[in-house]
Structure 1
Amino acid sequence: MTDIVIPPLPQGALDNFSEEVRPCIERLIAHTPERHDLSVHPQSKLAAVLVLLYEQAGELRVLLTTRSKALRTHAGQTALPGGRLDDVDKNLINTAYREAHEEVALPLESPHIHTIGVLEPFISLHRIVVTPVLAILTHPSVLNQLRASENPTLARSEALAEQGTENWPYDSELYNTSDSATYGNVIYRMHRLRTSASPVKGLTADILIKTAQIAFQQDTVYERYAPQQLQTFAEMSRFVVALNA
């Protein structure tokens, strides 16, 4: 697997974004995450997800999919397209795009889709090391070609899942959280965000929260981490490597 290299954006790639949204994209482009040696983790534990951002009606949106309830893992969950590194992938960027193509028929070659960066990896509850790949869609007509449900994360302006139902059984209107012990009794704060389908939660919520913090240059209005929760990838990586030893 070769190292990740982000190609420069074509000239004028941001021209279709509004004056309100363009600075958010520029902040994500300027973001330089710390580099980590992922070779300390087995290749079978490496994965990537695609955070595909686009503008609609003056708002920055993200492409999400609702997983089939027949799947063995994360059944029925709303998630970012993505999956594990495959032998055919040159790097984790290829993984993210290949998985998005397989899951939602996102074109592998499109003049309207551009990679703008990556985030620091996250480690899932199943100890999968997940690298979020950031990309922009400069022409939303591409979405019309997709075969999976698009689920933007705008809240009150969207037709949300009915409160008190299976998809949002919580008393709070838009946001819910709980703390629990995971592998090795590490404390983890589960964030849940209300959508028009099943909640965005867990790793997907963590990635979207981090993306929004960078894009909008704002911190969360709620406590992001549980007391004593490991907060950085470096801390989590050392812990998981020791746990697997």
Structure 2
Amino acid sequence: MNTVDSSLFGLPEEILQTLTDENQKAITRLLNHKPVAFDFTPYPQKRLAAVLVLLYEKAGRIQVLLTTRSKTLRSHPGQTALPGGKCDVDDENVLSTALREAYEEVGLPLDYQKIHPLCILRPFVSLYGLLVSPVVCFLSDASLVDNLVASESEVERIFEHPLEAIINPNILNEEGSSEVAQSLLAEKGSDDWPYADDLHNTTDSDWIDGSKYRMHRFRSKAYAIKGLTSDILIKTAEVAYGQEPTYDRWAPGQFKSFLNIASLMEMFDRSRERYTSVRADTEGSRSASQEHLHKN
């Protein structure tokens, strides 16, 4: 998998100047973002994936494009996601992967001149041990979003969410009265938002080798934004707005440093090996028991 040519990143000044002052600053921070270098060479291509964080300005705010996955999919059915998936052998780099997946899932045109790559964030580790690279791009023609078409086999719904609300959920109440703002979101107590909290919910759980993980959930127009998607958007918003979230980001004992990623991957592999070994032993014992029953 090749690195992305740095000359592909950028946003013409005349486009930047059309944005609000605050949004100009946010996009400029993303353009200037340089993640810590990470060596992907030890990992086979089947362990690599990419997602597209597509941003655009609408009603004075930076929005991010999101989808809800089809309920017929085997993994994460019905959940909110960023367009993306595993890297194919024909993909030149993670930018190619992210754009190809967006084309397949929501019909985002390939080689569209109004999609401007801004940066690539450091990789995230998925539940299945994939190294996921978030590719952040800016769409200078927001009207295109209204013409996107969801893939029937992969996507149930296309929607948007204010990026800043990921680090400060309460800005959703600034659009008007709290009641009016929340009426535009998923109904409280519904399957999409079954939590008592108005806008943001967290739970802490054990993860790999005794580490902890804090699950963040954000109320949206559709299913809750959570898990890997929320983690990626928190990082995107932190970079864009140059500030920490208004809530406690980390669980006690949770990995925070990018330098822990390689160690995390190693621990994930060890955990998977132990699981495979235990499963093999269990199935072997079951087979032996069944053979004994047949003999008697």
The bucket for the TM-score relative to the shorter chain is over 0.9
Match of 1:170 in 2: 195
Within the candidate set 52, 74, 78, 2:54 is matched to: 52
Q: Which position in structure 2 is the counterpart of 1:27?
A: 29
Q: TM-score, normalised by structure 2?
A: 0.79
Q: Is this contact kept in 2: 1:53–1:135, CA < 8 A? A: yes
- For the 8 Å contact 2:36–2:258, the answer to whether it is kept is no
Residue in 2 that maps onto 1:71: 73
Give unpaired runs (5+ residues) of structure 2: 151-156, 163-171, 174-180, 271-296
In the alignment of these two chains, the number of paired residues is 245
Q: 1:238 to 1:20 in 2, by over 3 A?
A: same
> Shift in Å at residue 232 of structure 1?
2.4
Q: Distance in 2 between matches of 1:205 and 1:40?
A: 27
Asked if structure 2 preserves the Cα contact closer than 8 Å seen for 1:40 and 1:241, the reply is no
Cα separation, 2, equivalents of 1:174 and 1:188: 20
Structure 2 residue 248 is matched with structure 1 residue 234: no
Distance apart, 1:169 and its partner CA = 0.7
The separation in 1 between residues aligned to 2:106 and 2:73, in whole angstroms, is: 16
**1:186 to partner: Cα distance:** 2.6
- In the alignment, the residues of structure 2 paired with residue 12 and residue 89 of structure 1 have an alpha-carbon distance, to the nearest angstrom, of 31
1:201-233: CA deviation from partner (whole Å, max 9, x where unpaired): 001001111111111111111111110111123
Among 143, 146, 150, which residue is 1:144 paired with? 146
Contact 2:100-2:110 within 8 A present in 1 as well: yes
The ranges of structure 1 where at least 4 consecutive aligned residues each deviate by more than 3 angstroms after the TM superposition are: 154-158
Spell out the pairing of 1:192-211 with structure 2 (5 A cutoff): 192-211=217-236
TM-score by length of 1: 0.95
Q: SS of the residue aligned with 1:100?
A: helix
CA distance in 1, matches of 2:159, 2:46: 29
What is the identity percentage for the equivalent residue pairs of Structure 1 and Structure 2? 44
Residue of 221, 225, 230 corresponding to 2:250: 225
Q: Write the deviation string for residues 67-118 of structure 1: whole angstroms up to 9, x where unpaired.
A: 0111100110111100011001001110000000000000112121110111
1:180 is matched with 205
Where does 1:23-172 land on structure 2 (aligned, <5 Å)? Answer: 23-148=25-150, 149-154=157-162, 155-156=172-173, 157=181, 159-172=184-197
Residue 238 of structure 2 corresponds to which residue in structure 1?
A: 213
Q: CA deviation at 1:187?
A: 1.1
1:16 shift after superposition:
2.7
Cross-structure match for 1:244: 269
* Unmatched tracts of structure 1, length 5 or more: none
Give the CA deviation at 1:11.
Answer: 4.8
Aligned residue identity for 1:196: K
Where is the helix percentage greater, Structure 1 or Structure 2? 2
Partner-residue secondary structure (3-state), 2:15: coil
2:4 aligns with: 4
Matched AA of 1:176: N
- Does the CA-based 8 Å contact 1:20-1:58 persist in structure 2? no
Tell me if the contact between 2:206 and 2:213 (Cα under 8 Å) persists in the aligned partners: yes
Change (3 A) 1:58 1:200: same
**C-alpha deviations, 1:123-162, integer Å up to 9, x for none?**
1121111100010001112113211333222444461111
Looking at structure 1, the residues matched to 259 and 76 of structure 2 have their Cα atoms a distance apart, in angstroms, of 25
Instruction: Tell me how far 1:243 sits from its aligned partner.
Output: 4.3
Structure 2 contact 208–267 (Cα < 8 Å) conserved: no
Q: Which amino acid aligns with 2:90?
A: V
